[in-house]
Amino acid sequence: MSEEHKQIEELEGFKNLRIVDNFYQTSSFFPMPTCEIATLSENGLTNIGSYSLCFPYYIAGKDYYAMLLCCRNSSNTAQNILRNGKCAINFIPDKRKYFKEAVRLGFPGETTEEKMKDTIFTLVDGKRARENPNETYPKIVKEAFQVFECTWVRELDNAQDDKVQEEYLPPYHNFNGITSKFGAHFILKVDNILMKEKYYNSIINGVTSNGFPSVPVDYGYRDSKNFWYTKFKNPISEPIPENKGISLDSVKYAASRIDPEIKFTDEACMRFVKVPRVFLNTVLKGCVSWAKENNVTLITEKEVDIINDKRNKEKNKR
Ligand SMILES: Cc1cc2nc3c(=O)[nH]c(=O)nc-3n(C[C@H](O)[C@H](O)[C@H](O)COP(=O)(O)O)c2cc1C
């Protein structure tokens, strides 16, 4: 290798690694969740496949929230989603026997009947099944610490006509439905998030270090023999930088410029000094439009409480 080539390959302690198929597990160390995805087979049975490439996709600013799943298009999961669009993403806690079962349920080529007859997971009805007794939905895994009940948004990227086929030839979609010869991507609308009570309380009452579920971190299939994962450790917290807060004067200045008819007291402004500057105007504008709707002209701490309360309630409703 020439000297010049060596310098390009070795850069400040980094080496340039060739990027190959499945780069997230073959050319890097990428921490991932372990999801057991439940779908409905053609015979109406619940099929479970293991999936790690499953991430939030629409997180705000749209009419709905969504996840993205990257998956082999010949898998039971992909075929079932193409057929009926329903799935439940079950997040399993960190237990060796659950991960062993995830690896078993992640072995390609078995039919639903073959893989599900010996499963150690307990399958129960989810919220959708209870609310719509005349419809069939995939069951959910009782051992999960949280479950996202989802529906495929088949219209996105014009994927509504994609169906189960022996072989997929081009053209392919870009980001939803069949996306390559062997691949599929599914944008999944989150219908319900079901949470075990202990962690529900953590989210509602404020989280502490021991209020997190134990989540295994999966590093994928790495040496043609094993799936690798790390065991859970209680998380620790890192406070946001103190000196990044905004001064009371800058909040007062921003608040006075939103609308000449709506005023904020100093105490009310004090409540916004921790809001990151980039969000300050949006937050203040939110308060002003609430004030206008409710014929309020002076926003005091009391009104800030009412507005926060309303926002929390809306969040919980969603
Ligand atoms: C922990 C784990 C994570 C996996 N993640 C994915 C993934 O993100 N995408 C994928 O296509 N296959 C993934 N696999 C492989 C699938 O589980 C495998 O294709 C399996 O056959 C899917 O089951 P199904 O055919 O019942 O859907 C994973 C396997 C394991 C064990």
* Residues 266 and 301: beta-carbon distance below 8 Å: no
Task: Give the Cα separation of 53 and 37 in Å (integer).
Answer: 11
For position 191, what pLDDT does the model report?
A: 98
Q: How many CB atoms are located within 10 Å of the residue 62 CB? A: 10
Is the beta carbon of 47 within 6 A of some atom in ligand 1?
Answer: yes
**Average pLDDT of the segment spanning 107-118:** 97
Is the beta carbon of 106 within 6 A of some atom in ligand 1?
Answer: yes
Q: What are phi and psi of 35, to 5 degrees?
A: -115, 135
Question: pLDDT tens across 16-33, in order?
Answer: 999 999 999 999 999 999
Greater confidence (221 vs 274) lies with 221
Nearest CA to ligand 1 atom 22: 49
Whole-number Å distance, alpha carbon 140 to ligand 1 midpoint, is: 17
Whether 318 shows a pLDDT value over 60: the answer reads: no
Whole-number Å distance, alpha carbon 248 to ligand 1 midpoint, is: 52
| C-alpha of 76 from chain center | 22
For position 313, what pLDDT does the model report?
A: 77
For position 311, what pLDDT does the model report?
A: 78
Question: pLDDT tens across 127-170, in order?
Answer: 999 999 999 999 999 999 999 999 999 999 999 999 999 999 99
- Report the nearest atom of ligand 1 relative to the CA of 69: 8
Whether 315 shows a pLDDT value over 90: the answer reads: no
CATH of domain 17-230: 2.30.110.10
Task: Give the Cα separation of 69 and 88 in Å (integer).
Answer: 12
Q: What is the mean pLDDT of the chain?
A: 94
Task: Give the Cα separation of 61 and 285 in Å (integer).
Answer: 16
Where along the chain do its domains lie?
17-230, 242-317
Nearest CA to ligand 1 atom 6: 51
Say which amino acid occupies 221.
Y
Is the beta carbon of 51 within 6 A of some atom in ligand 1?
Answer: yes
Tell me which of 30, 35, 50 to substitute to probe ligand 1's pocket, judged by most ligand atoms within 8 Å of the beta carbon.
50
Whole-number Å distance, alpha carbon 220 to ligand 1 midpoint, is: 10
- Report the nearest atom of ligand 1 relative to the CA of 102: 31
